[in-house]
Structure 1
Amino acid sequence: MPSDDLDYLITEQEGRSMNTVTPNPNSDQQKTLQPESGNEITEADQNPKPRIQKVSKMLRDNKNMEKHYEPRAVSIGLLHYGIDKFSLAEGHKLKLAELFITENGVDEFGLHRKIKTKIVRLKQCYAKEDAKRVNISDEDLAWKFLIDGFVLLHYIGYASLGKLNDLKKIGMDMEAFSLDLFLLENQLPYEVLDDIMTSAAKGGADMRNLIDKFIDQTVRDIRGSPLTPPLPTSTSTSPQQQQPQPAHLLQLLRDRLVGHHEMDEKTKTGKRVGRVTELKSAGIQLKSSKEGSLRDNVTFAPHWITGTLTLPCLVFNDWTTPKLLNLIAFEMCPDFQNDSQVITSYIFFLHSLIDQSDDVKELRKAHVLVINNNNNSVAGMDEEVVRLFKEIGSSDLDSIPEAYLEVKELIHKHCEKKWKTWMTLFAFAAAAIALLAMSFSSRLGAPGSL
Structure 2
Amino acid sequence: MMASSSALVAGEIQSKEIPEWWISMTIHTEEQGTSDSSIYKLQRVPTTLREIEKNKGCYDPIVVSIGPFHHRLPKLQPVEKLKTTIAQKFISGRDTRKFYYNFTEVCLNARGCYAESSTEALEDKEFVRMMFLDGCFLLHFIDCTVKGRLQDMKMKDDQIAFVLRDLFLLENQLPFLVLQELMKFRFTEGKQLILKFIGRLAGTNSSSQEYHQPPHLLHLLWYEYVGAIPPPRMWTFKQKDEHFFHPFRSIQDLRAAGIMCKKSTTSCLRSISFVSHCIHGELLLPAILVDQSTKTMFLNLVAYEASPDASSDFAITSYICLLESLIAKPDDVKELRSRNIIFNFLGNDQEVADVFHDLATNLVPNPSQYREAKLLIEKHCRRKMNCVPVMFYKLYKSFRGQWTLFVYITTLLVIVIFIIQTYFVIFPIKS
Q: Could you state the TM-score of these two structures normalised by the residue count of structure 2? A: 0.76
Superposition pairs of residues 334-373 of structure 1, within 5 angstroms? 334-338=308-312, 340-373=313-346
Partner of 1:309: 283
Contact 2:142–2:197 (Cα < 8 Å) also in 1: yes
TM superposition shift of 1:140: 1.6
Q: How far apart, in 2, do the equivalents of 1:198 and 1:125 lie?
A: 20
**Paired residue for 1:141?**
127
Aligned length in residues:
366
Selected match of 1:320 from 273, 294, 318: 294
**Distance of 1:169 and 1:139 partners within structure 2:** 29
Provide the residue aligned with 1:115 in structure 2. 103
Paired with 1:344 and 1:79, the residues of 2 have a C-alpha distance of: 24
Q: 1:36: which partner in 2?
A: none
The change in CA–CA distance for 1:248 and 1:169 in structure 2 (over 3 A counts) is: closer
Choose from 211, 220, 242 the match for 2:194.
211
Query: Counterparts of 1:64 and 1:266 in 2: how far apart (Å)?
Result: 38
2:205 aligns to what? 226
Q: 1:424 offset after TM fit, Å? A: 10
For residues 100 and 306 of structure 1, do their structure 2 counterparts lie closer, same or farther at Cα, with a shift above 3 Å needed?
same
| Cα distance change on mapping 1:226 and 1:264 into 2, 3 Å | farther
Change (3 A) 1:299 1:127: same
Matched, 1:298 2:272: yes
Q: Which residue of 1 aligns with 2:57?
A: 67
Q: Select between 251-260 and 349-358 the one with higher mean Cα deviation.
A: 251-260
Match of 2:54, SS state, is: coil
**2:422 aligned with 1:422, yes or no?**
no
Structure 2 partner of 1:270: 245
Shift in CA distance, 425/178, structure 1 to aligned 2, threshold 3 Å = closer
1:436, distance to aligned residue in structure 2 (A): 7.9
Partner of 1:31: none
1:395 aligns with 2:362: yes
Give the structure 2 partner of residue 151 of structure 1. 137
Q: Deviations over 1:307-351 (max 9, x none)?
A: 11111111110133322221121112121114x222221121111
The verdict on how the C-alpha distance between 1:422 and 1:77 changes in structure 2, with shifts beyond 3 A counting, is: same
Q: Kindly state the Cα deviation for residue 113 of structure 1 after the two structures are TM-superposed.
A: 2.6
Q: Which amino acid aligns with 1:121?
A: N
Check if 1:284 corresponds to 2:259.
Answer: yes
Give the RMSD, CA atoms, in angstroms: 3.2
| Residues 409-435 of structure 1: per-residue CA shift (max 9 Å, x gap) | 000000011x44327999xx9x99998
> Equivalent residue for 1:329?
303
Change (3 A) 1:173 1:435: closer
SS in 2 for 1:310: strand
Change beyond 3 A, Cα 1:360–1:255 = same
The change in CA–CA distance for 1:362 and 1:111 in structure 2 (over 3 A counts) is same
Residue type at the aligned position of 2:216: H
Maintained 8 Å contact 1:74/1:180: yes
Task: Please say if 1:258 is aligned against 2:237.
Answer: no
Mean CA deviation greater in 315-324 or 405-414: 315-324
User: What stretches of structure 1 of length at least 5 have no aligned partner?
Assistant: 1-40, 235-243, 441-450
Say yes or no: does 1:97 pair with 2:65.
Answer: no
User: 2:234 & 2:328 partners in 1: Cα distance?
Assistant: 25
Q: What code does the residue aligned with 2:375 have?
A: E
> Could you tell me whether the CA contact under 8 Å between 2:317 and 2:363 is conserved in 1?
no
Listed as ranges, the matches of 1:175-194 within 5 Å are: 175-194=161-180
Normalization by structure 1: what TM-score? Answer: 0.73
Encode CA deviations 1:82-136: one digit per residue, 9 max, x unaligned. Answer: 111111111111122222223xx5544543333333444322211121122xx23
Q: CA deviation at 1:214?
A: 1.1
Identity score, percent: 31
Shift in alpha-carbon separation, 1:299–1:170, aligned structure 2, 3 A: closer
Distance 1:218 1:251, change over 3 A: same
- Secondary structure, counterpart of 1:67 in structure 2: coil
CA gap of 1:396–1:292, structure 2 versus 1, over 3 A, is: closer
